[in-house]
Amino acid sequence: MARILLGVSGGIAAYKAIELARLATKEGHAVRVLMTPTATRFVGAASFEGIVGAPVLIDEFERDPARGAFPGDPEPGHDPIGHLELAANADAYLVAPASANTIAKLATGAADSMLTTSFLSSSGPRLVAPAMNDRMYRDPATQENLAALRERGVLVIDPDEGPLASRGEHGVGRLPEPRALLDRIEAALPGPAGPWDGLRVLVSAGGTREPIDPVRFIGNRSSGRMGLALAERAARRGAEVTLVAANVCLDEPAGVRRVNVETAAELKSALGSEFPSSDVLLMAAAPADFRASAVAERKLPREGQGMELELEPTEDILAGLASGRHGGQTVIGFAAETGSGLERAREKLRRKAVDAIVLNDVSRPEIGFESDQNEVVIVEAGQERQIPLSSKADVADAILDRVEALREEAIEVHGPDR
Ligand code: CTP
């Protein structure tokens, strides 16, 4: 049930706002009402107060006896600023009826009553239901004001067509029925929090470069595309995504925090600081398995017949992170193999102690490093899922679906804190 702020401006349809307040209250919503001074010439504040069980506010300097609280909520211990508090506590703000005059004020940002000041300070969904004579409604001034409001994200509820208040007139300008208005408010309310809302997802992408000398490195062909697709899809689901990008030449998706690294050691250190506060790790990066034992300070000259390069192994970053994880963390590894590699992926699942290994065959050019497509097998303990050839975005979604399922299963078995 929602906290609905209802702004009533001057028009004959104000009587319908009383019916709307009654319906919303009957359905369990908490309603507070703001009226413009003109609205009080059409209907009385006492009608609303009786129905919603809370005082109506009109003047922006008026003290709110309920201190900005909605019916059923506790009142704060201090006297808050009226036109900020009610708007801040509301889940949605509907102005109905919105007269031509009030629409003009809202469109220009005028703030001369409790209704208009609260509208400016409101950050939740804002709805406006115009109701007036059809000539006033059709006038370009009103239409331009409504267009300006729409452009700013205000939801304008189109008036109905039918008999108008002035005798014998017919046209567009009638306030929709209370049921329709309430449906629009309910549709505008933010939905319940989903499993990805606020989930902290850490994605690694790209391939590391291990220097040999100041100009040369040992690298690999990972482009970072799969990691970027995972970051993008997770962000779209509502997650807070951090991307640790190893030499990725592509832009990060909108809303994703990016940390750039070059070597496996830098990747390890960046992931080491981000992982403890993450809920999910998607380890799509390809860290080098070996680095030069000694990096030459100066460019190695082209001398003699050849050269020998001594390599030393890098650490297994994923295995290290997974071994130190806490119960609520989900860890997914990736394995790029040439050929089927299923047995090797199963072995990596066990050795690295991760929840799943996403296996792909990089010897196939159509799903290789630079491709926008992929075909993978998600290998989990006791089961494998084949994800057919599709875009990396779709493959990312399939992987995220499994992450979601794995987290749900873990909660069922171990409880939310594990
Ligand atoms: N990985 C890692 N640190 C490394 C090497 C790999 O964290 N030094 C991670 C990769 O990011 C990937 C997973 O481990 O998520 C599997 O990588 P892969 O290269 O297939 O496995 P390796 O352990 O390197 O085994 P091999 O090279 O023998 O196939």
Q: Could you give the residue numbers annotated as active site?
A: 220
CA 49 to chain centroid: 37
Say yes or no: 248 and 137 in one domain: no
Kindly report the CATH number assigned to the domain that includes residue 334. Answer: 3.40.50.10300
Q: Can you give the pTM of this predicted structure?
A: 0.66
Residue 306 within a domain: yes
Residue range 164-192: average pLDDT? Answer: 88
Q: What pLDDT score does 319 carry?
A: 98
Q: Tell which atom from ligand 1 comes closest to the C-alpha of 314.
A: 8
Say yes or no: 172 and 319 in one domain: no
Q: Are strands 3-8 and 373-380 parallel, antiparallel or unpaired?
A: unpaired
pLDDT tens sequence across 149-160: 999 999 999 999
Ligand 1 pocket: which of 289, 330, 338, 357 to mutate (most atoms within 8 A of CB): 289
Residue 120 has pLDDT above 70, yes or no: yes
Residue 149 within a domain: yes
| DSSP-based three-state secondary structure for 118 | helix
Residue 195 within a domain: no
Residue 416 has pLDDT above 70, yes or no: no
- Name the percent of the chain lying above pLDDT 70: 99
State the chain's mean pLDDT as an integer. Answer: 94
Residue 194 within a domain: no
Residue 316 within a domain: yes
How many domains does the chain divide into? 2
Say yes or no: 166 and 51 in one domain: yes
Q: Show Cβ contacts of residue 112 under 8 Å, excluding neighbours closer than 6 positions.
A: 60, 105
Kindly report the CATH number assigned to the domain that includes residue 138. Answer: 3.40.50.1950
- Distance from the alpha carbon of residue 287 to the mean position of ligand 1, in angstroms: 7
Say yes or no: 305 and 233 in one domain: yes
Ligand 1 pocket: which of 275, 315, 316 to mutate (most atoms within 8 A of CB): 316
User: Which of 188, 220, 247 marks a domain boundary?
Assistant: 188
Task: For residues 232 and 258, give the distance between their C-alpha atoms in angstroms, rounded to a whole number.
Answer: 12
User: Which of 188, 222, 256 marks a domain boundary?
Assistant: 188
Say yes or no: 274 and 397 in one domain: yes
Question: What is the span of the domain harbouring residue 113?
Answer: 3-188
| DSSP bridge pairs for 245 | 205, 260
Say yes or no: 168 and 215 in one domain: no
- Strand ranges for 160-248 from DSSP E: 160-163, 170-174, 200-206, 210-211, 217-218, 240-246
- Distance from the alpha carbon of residue 335 to the mean position of ligand 1, in angstroms: 7
Q: What pLDDT score does 19 carry?
A: 98
- Residue predicted with more confidence, 214 or 413: 214
Q: What pLDDT score does 269 carry?
A: 98
Say yes or no: 276 and 410 in one domain: yes
Report which protein residue has its CA nearest ligand 1's atom 18.
335
Say yes or no: 134 and 205 in one domain: no
The helices-and-strands tally (H runs, E runs) of the chain is 13, 19
Say yes or no: 180 and 286 in one domain: no
Say yes or no: 220 and 339 in one domain: yes
pLDDT tens sequence across 360-372: 998 887 887 778 8
Say yes or no: 209 and 323 in one domain: yes
User: Which of 149, 168, 188 marks a domain boundary?
Assistant: 188
Residue range 127-145: average pLDDT? Answer: 97
Say yes or no: 333 and 373 in one domain: yes
**In the structure, which protein residues have their CB atom closer than 6 angstroms to any atom of ligand 1?**
264, 283, 285, 287, 289, 314, 316-318, 333-336, 348
pLDDT tens sequence across 38-95: 999 999 999 999 999 999 999 999 899 999 999 999 999 888 888 889 999 999 999 9
Q: Tell which atom from ligand 1 comes closest to the C-alpha of 344.
A: 29
Residue 193 within a domain: no
Helix H, strand E, coil C: the string for 51-94 is: HHCCCCECCCCCCCCCCCCCCCCCCCCCCCCHHHHHHHHCCEEE
